[in-house]
Amino acid sequence: MTHFDPTPAAPLPVPEITALVARIRAEVATAVVGMGHAIELALAAILAGGHTLFEDVPGLGKTLAARSIATAIGLDFRRLQCTPDLLPADITGSFVYAPATASFDFRPGPVFTGVFLADEINRTAPKTQSALLEAMAEGQVTVEGQSFPLPRPFHVVATANPIEYEGTYSLPEAQLDRFMVRLAVGYPGREGEQQVLLNRVARRRERAEVAAVVAAGTLARMQAGVETVTVDADVVRYCVDLAEATRRHPAIAVGASPRGSQALLLMARSVAVIAGRDFVLPDDVKRVAVAVLAHRLSLTTQSWAAGVDAAQVVVEIVERVPGPLVAGAVRA
């Protein structure tokens, strides 16, 4: 088990972070085909210190993408296959009686790792899913009144099938709000699917191997470097304007929380670094708006019955809310 290190990491310069992210993306691309945008946003969420949910139909490579990212960023990695009979203690761990000492010792669960992959998370009951709430929000778990810190960096990367599929449960709103982004993988194009088959034939085995590009300490320094990115006050107001617009939209019953507007800003900052900039543009906010906001919205009953899609509502809001002209945009 990786131990908690409270020492702040020294930030890396933005150009070094940009170069390392490019190397990570290239390494992930050796195993994952046709997910460039989703991989970029997943890495941006990790740079921002957040958690990622891949949601789409089975067989599109969600688990492969999650495992490849975890390996490339050099963190300890544990995977848990979620099933209907899974219990909260199967995630967090529990106290076990030790006959040698006649005492109960804490046995950590799989969540005590750098990257925790919850595969098909919505196939387990909401009670078990909620075992991750404290871990995702506070970086610790509490068992029988005792709190145990998780390693840092710590990230949850989860995969989910659409709720229309048999044997799935809806994720609680509180848990969805703790995922910084929800990403749809989508079907690959014809050429992309051909490349998947060619890669499988070429490697002569089922499992695709990805090498670690950075270590845990380097990732912590990359995340510290992202914290140094300049954000104009106008960009901050723009993030708030978008979040507020979701709360006033007639198709939405419950809009994005302040955690949503904060995630919007943090993700925009990471995307700016990936693009090689040390300042945020309004276009960075627009680029991540759907992935950050759509899963945080609760549609009205009428909108849901009419087949309204939350992602399309976010697109409409982004088109309608005017963006600022900030100093960074002039400089760019």
- Specify whether 173 is located in the same domain as 48: yes
Q: Does 330 score more than 60 pLDDT?
A: no
- Measured CA to CA in angstroms, residue 218 lies from 52, 200, 267, 291 at distances of 20, 31, 19, 26
Do residues 18 and 176 make contact, with C-beta atoms less than 8 angstroms apart? no
- Specify whether 76 is located in the same domain as 215: yes
Domain boundary among 219, 240, 272: 219
Residue 129 belongs to some domain of the structure? yes
Domain boundary among 219, 242, 270: 219
Q: Does 316 score more than 80 pLDDT?
A: yes
> Which pTM value belongs to this model?
0.89
Question: Average of pLDDT values for 149-172?
Answer: 83
- Specify whether 209 is located in the same domain as 293: no
Q: Does 327 score more than 60 pLDDT?
A: no
Q: Does 32 score more than 60 pLDDT?
A: yes
Residue 332 belongs to some domain of the structure? no
**What pLDDT is attached to residue 4?**
46
Question: Average of pLDDT values for 202-222?
Answer: 88
**What pLDDT is attached to residue 1?**
42
**What pLDDT is attached to residue 326?**
58
pLDDT tens for each residue of 83-135: 899 999 999 999 998 888 888 899 999 999 999 999 989 888 888 888 899 99
From CA 67, how far away is CA 195, in angstroms rounded? 19
**181 C-beta neighbours (distance < 10 Å), count:** 24
Residue 4 belongs to some domain of the structure? no
Q: Does 332 score more than 60 pLDDT?
A: no
Compute and round to an integer the Cα radius of gyration of the chain. Answer: 20
Do residues 314 and 297 make contact, with C-beta atoms less than 8 angstroms apart? yes
Q: Does 77 score more than 70 pLDDT?
A: yes
Residue 280 belongs to some domain of the structure? yes
Q: What is the mean pLDDT of the chain?
A: 89
Domain boundary among 191, 219, 247: 219
From CA 243, how far away is CA 293, in angstroms rounded? 8
- Specify whether 81 is located in the same domain as 117: yes
Q: Does 313 score more than 90 pLDDT?
A: yes
pLDDT tens for each residue of 2-22: 444 556 789 999 999 999 999
Residue 2 belongs to some domain of the structure? no
User: Considering the chain, what percentage of its residues have pLDDT values greater than 70?
Assistant: 95
Which CATH number fits the domain that encloses residue 304?
A: 1.10.8.80
- Specify whether 290 is located in the same domain as 310: yes
Instruction: Specify the DSSP class assigned to residue 279.
Output: B
- Specify whether 40 is located in the same domain as 179: yes
Counting the structural domains of the chain, the total is 2
- Specify whether 125 is located in the same domain as 243: no
Which CATH number fits the domain that encloses residue 24?
A: 3.40.50.300
Range of the domain at 272: 229-322
Q: Please, which pLDDT band fits residue 163 given cuts at 50, 70 and 90?
A: low
**What pLDDT is attached to residue 7?**
66
Question: Average of pLDDT values for 215-233?
Answer: 94
- Specify whether 215 is located in the same domain as 256: no
- Specify whether 207 is located in the same domain as 239: no
Residue 199 belongs to some domain of the structure? yes
- Specify whether 55 is located in the same domain as 30: yes
**What pLDDT is attached to residue 98?**
86
Residue 8 belongs to some domain of the structure? no
- Specify whether 211 is located in the same domain as 298: no
Residue 270 belongs to some domain of the structure? yes
Question: Average of pLDDT values for 204-230?
Answer: 90
Of 53-67, 194-208, 243-257, which one has max mean pLDDT? 243-257
- Specify whether 174 is located in the same domain as 304: no
**What pLDDT is attached to residue 162?**
77
